[in-house]
Chains A and B, each alone.
Chain A
């Protein structure tokens, strides 16, 4: 079973501060790395899918980087806003390219 791990489990950040968190995954047989944003009482929504080592993706104030050789991805949020409060999930296919496994998530809370 593929282990996708995220840290920290939860994070409390002051509004306006920037923050980042980590997703780690086995570096062998890498296919892709997904990031999702999951607000309470809603469904997860895709932020990024990254496939190439060194890939960087950006969407507004949120960006992500990928290191497939060492098996980690960082998600960055610049100038956190209250609407950024959510759980951020990463996911990766395992030994079967179609079997997409999620980490347990990082729960982000923004203090006004």
Chain B
């Protein structure tokens, strides 16, 4: 089983460029999440989705947009990348259930904005 797959794994952008990170899961999970990892700050929630066609803001949503057009995919977009968005991005999914189901994580996508 593939689980949660993130593409691309690495990307270097120039300030002002745009890009989309793709997260795909094959476990038929309802909930999907995008987190960013920053040194000393653990994982911070950017946006999440509780089902196809839904999205909601997390802790640090500014500068990012998301879409969940299909249940298995959750896209994270950066419209105009900034150096502060240099980070490792993790996608995760779960079966939902009032937060009582564990998250399954992807391998991460390392983004550098110059």
Interface residues of A (CB under 8 A from B): 1, 6, 9, 31-32, 34, 36, 42-46, 49, 51, 89, 91-93, 96-105
How many B residues touch A, CB cutoff 8 Å? 28
Partner of A100, one of B40, B42, B45: B45
Q: Which 4 A-B pairs have the closest CB atoms?
A: A93-B99, A46-B102, A43-B105, A104-B42
**A32 touching B108, Cβ below 8 Å:** no
Other A-B pairs, 5, CB within 8 Å; known A51-B100, A97-B99: A9-B40, A44-B105, A91-B103, A100-B33, A102-B35
Contact B103 A104 (CB under 8 A): no
Inter-chain contact total with CB atoms closer than 8 Å:
70
Enumerate chain B residues within 8 angstroms of A98, measured Cβ to Cβ.
Answer: 31, 48, 50, 56, 96, 98-99
Contact B33–A31 (Cβ < 8 Å): no
Within 8 A of A (CB), among B68-108: 90, 94, 96, 98-108
Report how far A101 CA is from B96 CA in the complex, Å.
14
**Residues B100 and A99 in contact, CB atoms below 8 Å apart:** no
* CB-based contact B43/A46 at 8 Å: no
User: Smallest Cβ distance from A32 to chain B, in angstroms?
Assistant: 4
Q: Provide a sorted-by-A list of 9 A–B residue pairs whose CB atoms are within 8 angstroms.
A: A31-B98, A32-B98, A32-B100, A43-B107, A96-B56, A98-B56, A102-B42, A102-B43, A102-B45
